[in-house]
Chain A
Amino acid sequence: VQLVESGGGLVQPGGSLRLSCAASRFAIGNYWMTWVRQAPGKGLEWVASINDIGSQKQYVDSVKGRFIVSRDNGKNSLFLQMSTLRAEDTAVYYCVTGRYSHGYWGQGTLVTVSS
């Protein structure tokens, strides 16, 4: 199983960014998928989860109304659309399997929000 995130980078406060996660050797279509982030030198924070068909989405309070999680099972991909970004959103964002007890993790993509 391989999960590869992309789309991270440097963005100004108030800006937007779209993260992608491509899965290989694993069909995400039967599973919840989740984004977890980790600020530099800090702990883990659950960000958002989406069920297998995309009908249920859950978010941490701090990103509600700003982030949207979505998926394309046909392309075996997961996405995170981030808008109105803040300095406190700076982190490595991991794509992970499952809503909980995440058995597979990507290598992460770094998002830096700074002027």
Chain B
Amino acid sequence: EIVLTQSPGTLSLSPGERATLSCRASQNLGGSSLAWYQQKPGQAPRLLVYNISSRYTGIPDRFSGSGSGTDFTLTISRLEPEDFAVYFCQQCVSSAITFGQGTRLEIK
């Protein structure tokens, strides 16, 4: 099983700041097969980015994904109040799909 480790566990920032969230895989994921989701309390997750860097339909361009191999990053260029939530990464290289444990982005 491929383990995804997200860091930090909690990130405290202010609106307008830049957020950098990390997702590290226990095995090489190659050049695709990593997605990012946002989840707010009481809601289902929402797909933000797929195939490492492709923004999903309707996702603002302040969200961007990057990385390759085992190290991946979700960057939110300028935080809006609605961006404070929990973020998960997901891989599908192996037949056993796995999620990271999540990063909580909270208002400082």
- A residues in contact (CB < 8 Å) with B: 34, 43-46, 49, 58, 60-61, 94, 99-103, 105-108
Contact = CB atoms under 8 A, between A and B. Distances in A.
B56 A103 contact: yes
Per DSSP, chain B at the interface is loop
Interface in B1-32: 1
A100 B99 contact: no
Contacts, number: 56
B44 A106 contact: yes
Nearest to B36: A101
Interface of B: 1, 33, 35, 37, 39, 44-47, 50-51, 56-57, 88, 90, 92, 95-102
Given A43-B101, A44-B99, 16 more contacts: A44-B39, A44-B88, A44-B102, A46-B96, A46-B97, A58-B96, A58-B97, A61-B96, A99-B97, A101-B35, A101-B47, A101-B50, A102-B37, A102-B47, A103-B56, A108-B44
